Structure 1
Amino acid sequence: MTTNSSEDLKQRLTEMVDSMPAFPESVCRIIEITSDINCSPKELVKVVERDPVMTMKILKMVNSAFFALARNVSSVQHALVYLGLNTIKNLAVSIATIESLPRQSIPELKMSDFLVHSLATASVAQWLAKNQLNIRDASDHFVGGLLHDFGKAVFIQFEPATYGKLILEAKAMNLPLAQVEMEHLGVSSAEVGALLAEKWQLPEQLVNCIRTQLECNKESSDLVLTVAAANTVVKAMHLGDNGDPYIGGFSDVMSSRLGCNLEDVVAQMQGLPDEVNRLLSMVRG
C-alpha cells in the first residue's frame, strides 16, 4: 500500500472499503429493529421473510444439530418462538459476516483461523456481558465480538502481500499488530473496520466498538469493554488467529469493571473450544 500522503491513503482506504461486499439490507434492518427493546416480533419476521435466501439459511441453521430442537422448524415465525428474537438477529448477522469474508487466505493468516477467533471472541464477549456485567440482553456483545477484527479482512482482500509482511513483523518482534499497522500504514485495521461498519450502516455503538476496542479505558462503553477483554481471552487461549501475536493481560480498567482477571475468565472457558466447533458446524452448514 502506498502512503505518500494522508490524502492518498484516505482515498485508497475509501476505495478498499467501497469494494467490499455490501451487508444485506435485510440484515441492517434486522439490527435496526432489534435495537429497540419494544420492537415488534412480527416486523422482524416480515423483514426476514422478504429475503428468501436469508430465510432459507436461517431455517437451515435453526434445524442444525447445534440447536437440537425436538421438531423441525419450517418458518421464521416458528424459529422466533423457539429461539427468541436476539438469537435470530445473531444468526442473520453471522450469515452476512461469513459471506463478507475474503475467499482467499494469506499464508500468514488463514481465513478459517480468523473465523474461529471471531466466533470465539463473540461467545466470550456475550458471556462476560451476561455473567460479569449482568446484562440480560447481550446479543450486541456477540455481534461486536464477531465483527471486531473485520478491518483485517479488508487488508487481506486488497493488500495481501503488504499485510502479510506486517503480520510477520509483529510476530517476529512480539509487538501489537495495531502498532505495526500504524508505523507502516498510518492507520489501524480497527479504523478500517469502523469505516466498513459505517458503510454497512451498522448502529453507532457497534461502529464505535470496532474503532475503539484496542483503546479500552474507564470511559469506554460496556460493549467496548467486553469485546476488548474477550479478544484478550481468546488470544490467551490460542483459539484461532487474528494475526496479532501480542496477548498482554487485562488492564486495571478491565479487571475493575468486570470484577475478574484474565486467569479467572480463562478458567471458566473450558467449554469454549467445543462451543466454537458447534458454531463453526452451524455457520458452514
Structure 2
Amino acid sequence: MNSVSDKRQEIRALLADVSALVSPPEIVIRLRQAIDAQDSTSESLAAIVMQDPNLSARILHIANSAMYGLNHRVETVSRAISIIGQRALYHLALAVTASQTFSKLPSELVNVAVFWRHSVFTALIARNLAQRCHVLHPERLFVAGLLHDLGSLVLYQRYPDILRESLLTARGNEDVVAQQERELIGFDHAEVGGALLELWGLPESLQQAVAFHHRPGAAANTIEVAIVHMADTLANRTDQGSASEFGAYASLPHPGTWKTLGLDESITDDIWKDVNLQFMETLHVILPQARN
C-alpha cells in the first residue's frame, strides 16, 4: 500500500506529464490576480474578460440565463459583472475555461456527452444545495461540481488498458469505478481531481470537496465535501444527470450527509425540479459541443 506522500508524488508526476493540456489559461490567472488586488471594478474586470470574445459571450449568456432568473436583459459584460459579483464572475469564468481546456484531453474510454451532462447536472445541484445551506459564494460549489470528475479524463488517457475492463464491469457506477481505480493504480479519479484543483489555484476547501467526493467519511466534516458528495449522488439518480451511459442508478449518500447539510431528504424532488429548468441551457452555455 502506498503511503500518503508516495501517492501525492505519483499524482503530481501524472499531472506533470499532461501539464500542457491541463494548465490554467492566462485569462483565468489575470482575473484572479485582479480580484485579489481588491481595487478592481466591474469595468476593469470586463476589460480583461473582453479580450476573449468567446468568454465574453458565455458570461453574458450566463447572466441572462435561467441560472440567474433576471427579468431584464443584460447587454454588457461590465453590467453582468456588477449583477453577478466579482467572485461569481471568477468562478463562472473558471468553469467555462476549465471545461474548454479539459475537453482537449482525449480519452477513448469516455463518452464525452455523458461526462459533461453529468458534470453540469452535478454542478447545478451543488450550487442549489449551497444556496439552501446559505454558503458564501455558491458559484464556487458550481465550479467544484463541474470539475469533480476531471481526474477521470486524466486517468483514462494515461491508463486505458489497465482501467478498461473495470469500467465495463462497473457499468458507470461511480463508487465502484473509484474503488477499482484505487485497487488497480493506488488512487482514484477524485484524488487526481483534487490535485488538479490545487494546480488551478482553487481553495483547499474545494480541493478537499473534489478529492473526497466518493469518500466523505475520510475527509474533515466540511459543508463543501458534503455538498459535492450529495450533488454527485443525486445527479446519478437521474437519467439526465447520471454518469452512467445506462441511465439512473440507486446511488446512496454517505450516512449523515443530509445531517451535515442541515437539510431533509424530502427536498430532493424540489432540487431536481429547479435543476431541470436550468440544465440544458447551462450545458450549452458552459460547453456548446456537449449536445446529444
- Superposition TM-score tier, normalisation by shorter sequence: 0.7 to 0.9
Deviations 1:218-269 (A, max 9, x none): 8321111100110000001133443599753223321212244556324431
Matched residues in 1 for 2:154 and 2:33: separation? Answer: 24
Aligned counterpart in structure 2 of residue 264 of structure 1, from 263, 267, 275: 267
Q: How does 1:98-113 map to 2 (within 5 A)?
A: 98-103=99-104, 108-113=109-114
Note if contact 1:23-1:200 (Cα within 8 Å) is conserved in structure 2.
yes
CA drift at 1:85: 2.5
Query: How many angstroms apart in 1 are the aligned matches of 2:103 and 2:14?
Result: 16
User: Does residue 138 of structure 2 align to residue 135 of structure 1?
Assistant: no
**In 1, distance between residues paired with 2:229 and 2:173?**
22
Q: CA deviation at 1:46?
A: 3.2
CA distance in 1, matches of 2:11, 2:87: 36
CA distance in 1, matches of 2:250, 2:48: 43
- Per-residue CA distance 1:172-221 (angstroms, 9 max, x = gap): 99962111101111111112112222222222222222222222138321
Q: Give the residue type in structure 2 aligned to 1:84.
A: G
1:29–1:263 distance in 2 versus 1, CA, 3 Å: farther
TM-score (norm 2): 0.78
Map 1:32-71 to 2 at 5 A: 39-42=38-41, 45-47=43-45, 49-50=47-48, 52-54=50-52, 56-64=53-61, 66=65, 70-71=72-73
3-state secondary structure, aligned to 2:134: coil
Q: Which amino acid aligns with 2:150?
A: F
Identity %: 22
Aligned equivalents of 1:31, 1:224: Cα separation in 2: 23
- Confirm or deny that 1:146 pairs with 2:146: yes
The residue aligned with 2:281 is: 278
Please tell me whether the aligned partners of residues 118 and 146 of structure 1 are also in contact (alpha carbons under 8 angstroms): yes
Residues 246 and 284 (structure 1), Cα distance of their counterparts in 2 relative to 1, 3 Å cut = closer
Letter of the aligned partner of 2:78 in structure 1?
Answer: Q
Distance 1:10-1:195 versus aligned 2 partners, 3 A rule? closer
Partner of 2:258: 255
1:195 and 1:23 map into 2 onto residues whose CA distance is 13
Q: Which SS does the other structure have where 1:187 is aligned?
A: coil
What's 1:238 paired with? 239
CA distance, structure 1, for counterparts of residue 173 and residue 144 of structure 2 = 29
Separation (CA, whole Å) in 1 of partners of 2:107 and 2:265 = 30
1:2-17 alignment, distance < 5 Å: 13-17=14-18
Letter in 2 for 1:258: L
Give the SS at the match of 1:20: helix
Q: Does the C-alpha gap of structure 1 residues 255 and 206 become closer, same or farther in structure 2, counting only changes over 3 Å?
A: closer
Q: How many residues align?
A: 274
Q: CA deviation at 1:106?
A: 5.1
Residue 215 in 1 paired to residue 215 in 2?
A: yes
2:21 and 2:104 in contact (8 A); partners too: no
User: 8 Å contact 2:31–2:48 — kept in the other structure?
Assistant: no
Deviation at 1:91, TM superposition (A): 2.5
Q: Is the 8 A contact 2:11 2:192 kept in 1?
A: no
Quick one: distance in 2 between partners of 1:33 and 1:213? 31
Q: Distance in 1 between matches of 2:154 and 2:59?
A: 30
Q: Distance in 2 between matches of 1:155 and 1:174?
A: 14
The amino acid that maps onto 1:73 is E
Cα gap change, 1:283/1:175 in structure 2, threshold over 3 Å: closer, same or farther? closer
- Structure 1 CA distance for aligned equivalents of residues 56 and 12 of structure 2: 40
Give the match's secondary structure for 2:212. Answer: helix
CA distance in 2, matches of 1:97, 1:185: 25
More off after superposition, 23-32 vs 191-200: 23-32
List alignment gaps of at least 5 residues for structure 1.
1-5
TM-score, with structure 1 as normaliser: 0.79
